[in-house]
Amino acid sequence: MNNQNPVFIPGPTNIPDRLRHAMAVQTTDHRAPDFVELLKPVLEDTKKVFKTTTGTVITFPASGTGGWEAAITNTLSAGDKVLIARYGMFSHRWIDLCQRHKLDVEVIECEWGSGAPADLFAERLNADKAHEIKALLVTHNETATGVKSDIGAVRFALDAANHPALLFVDCVSSLASIDFRMDEWGVDVAVSGSQKGFMLATGMAILGVSEKALAAADAADLPRTFFDFRDMAQSNASGGFPYTPPLQLFHGMRASLDMLLGEGLENVFARHHRIAEGVRAAVGAWGLSLCAKTPDLYSDTVSAIYVPQGFDSNTLVNHAFDAYDVSFGVGLGEMSGKAFRIGHLGSLSDVMALSGLATIEMAMADLNYPVEIGSGVAAAQEYYRKTNAFGLKKAA
């Protein structure tokens, strides 16, 4: 196992040395006064990443899945109707979680590779005159298919129908990598985690919670203890935590926020876009196609790429690992065997992206794919040579 090679899975992502060092701290007492000095600015600065001024940032020692559960249990009651579209493995898992919590889950089935169907949501919301739908759940970036959805359009559908449903958004694989605007889009609970755009170890669910969602907690009767928003918000307000906080991850968050805000969020998004465009240029040169159906859906954090007929994407991913010690994403759910994924988010440069493209080309050549070795790398090189960090053409 060569631990110098980056991973090209769409999370957990590569941890920059600065963040690994930041997390390597000795235990200190979280009830001592200096924990407050660490916690409060971290929560404040995380709001900037969600682009919220009115929301509250709530964290739990958990992964993103715990964040999904917290969103549901703090705001809804048994039997409440929620509306959600299934268009990939992550929306599928959120549906499963809602069903296990005995919600009345209305699912709009969409083809994998498409995005959140704002038009179908609009139709359904307009028909729901009695306001039975209590929440609308949307996966911003479907990591299984490399599809980014338009959350602004979903908000527009809610507003146009004058519908009071809460809007929950899974932004686990988009926050801190792709533009996300919690306040502008009227998102009530935004769910993320430490191990993707924040480039940290797994272990912290990171949520942005609106005033409306916090206010829903009193009436909501689904059981929760560990994930109670009110316990966490009250403790945090006085600088504490209702149980033992993941101290090392808070040190990591401090450093991660310093990196992200130091680079500038818009620059972070532009870097992800440029790297992704290079990857997409390679896919085009290979003659392969993305699962994402149209360019407006292309994700800047992960590309899911169909393998040619007669090939198995899982064999390709396994071979790249066995032969070259480099991890790519397997096809999930309906995409199993049909598509592999290149994760291009977090701590990544154009140079690192080129190494991943070169590796998967070698693996494809080994397995006799009808792909010309070097073609994708060359296309990405051309794109990176001609663009600067903002994806614009460089001056000659």
Ligand X SMILES: *Cc1c(COP(=O)(O)O)cnc(C)c1O
- Per CB under 6 A, the segment of 75-83, 169-177, 235-243, 275-283 that binds ligand X is 169-177
Cα–Cα distance measured from residue 261 to residue 394, given in angstroms and rounded to the nearest whole number: 25
Q: Which is nearer to ligand X, 204 or 357 (CB)?
A: 204
Q: What is the largest CA-CA distance in the chain?
A: 63
Peptide bond into 6 cis (omega under 30): no
Work out the angle at residue 309's Cα, subtended by the Cα atoms of residues 305 and 313, and round it to the nearest 5 degrees.
Answer: 45
Cα–Cα distance measured from residue 274 to residue 276, given in angstroms and rounded to the nearest whole number: 5
For residue 333, the 8-state DSSP code is: G
Q: Determine if 90 is a binding residue for ligand X (CB under 6 A).
A: yes
Q: Determine which residue in the list 46, 114, 143, 359 makes contact with ligand X, applying CB under 6 A.
A: 143
Give backbone dihedrals phi and psi of 343, rounded to 5 degrees, phi first: -80, 130
Q: Determine if 300 is a binding residue for ligand X (CB under 6 A).
A: no
- Per CB under 6 A, the segment of 69-77, 101-109, 135-143, 370-378 that binds ligand X is 135-143
User: What residues numbered 8-67 form the site for ligand X, per CB under 6 A?
Assistant: 11, 63-65
**Cβ 173 to ligand X, closest distance in Å?**
3
Q: Determine if 139 is a binding residue for ligand X (CB under 6 A).
A: yes
Q: Determine which residue in the list 69, 80, 170, 334 makes contact with ligand X, applying CB under 6 A.
A: 170
Q: Which is nearer to ligand X, 65 or 77 (CB)?
A: 65
Q: Which is nearer to ligand X, 169 or 281 (CB)?
A: 169
- Could you tell me how many residues of this chain bind ligand X (CB under 6 A)? 12
Q: Token digits for 311?
A: 């090939």
Q: Which residue has the tokens 């990405």?
A: 380
Q: Determine if 173 is a binding residue for ligand X (CB under 6 A).
A: yes
Q: Determine if 121 is a binding residue for ligand X (CB under 6 A).
A: no
User: What residues numbered 176-195 form the site for ligand X, per CB under 6 A?
Assistant: 193
User: Cα-atom radius of gyration of the chain, to the nearest Å?
Assistant: 21
User: What residues numbered 195-224 form the site for ligand X, per CB under 6 A?
Assistant: none
Residue 340, SS3 per DSSP: strand
Q: Which is nearer to ligand X, 74 or 173 (CB)?
A: 173
Q: Determine if 74 is a binding residue for ligand X (CB under 6 A).
A: no
Give backbone dihedrals phi and psi of 308, rounded to 5 degrees, phi first: -65, 155
**Cβ 205 to ligand X, closest distance in Å?**
8
Q: Indicate the residue whose CB is closest to ligand X.
A: 64
Q: Which residue has the tokens 């889950």?
A: 105
**Cβ 316 to ligand X, closest distance in Å?**
21
**Cβ 62 to ligand X, closest distance in Å?**
8
Q: Token digits for 216?
A: 């829903």
Between the CA of residue 370 and those of 135, 286, 329, 367, what are the distances in Å? Answer: 46, 8, 21, 9
Q: Determine if 236 is a binding residue for ligand X (CB under 6 A).
A: no
Q: Which is nearer to ligand X, 52 or 91 (CB)?
A: 91
Q: Token digits for 283?
A: 């896919």
Q: Which residues of 305-322 are buried (b: 16+ CB within 10 A; e: fewer)?
A: bbbeeebebeebbebbee
**Cβ 341 to ligand X, closest distance in Å?**
11
- Per CB under 6 A, the segment of 150-158, 167-175, 251-259, 289-297 that binds ligand X is 167-175
Q: Token digits for 147?
A: 């599809």
Cα–Cα distance measured from residue 168 to residue 175, given in angstroms and rounded to the nearest whole number: 14
**Cβ 230 to ligand X, closest distance in Å?**
23
**Cβ 105 to ligand X, closest distance in Å?**
17
Bridge partners (DSSP) of residue 84 are 107, 137
Binding site for ligand X (CB under 6 A): 11, 63-65, 90, 139, 141, 143, 170, 172-173, 193
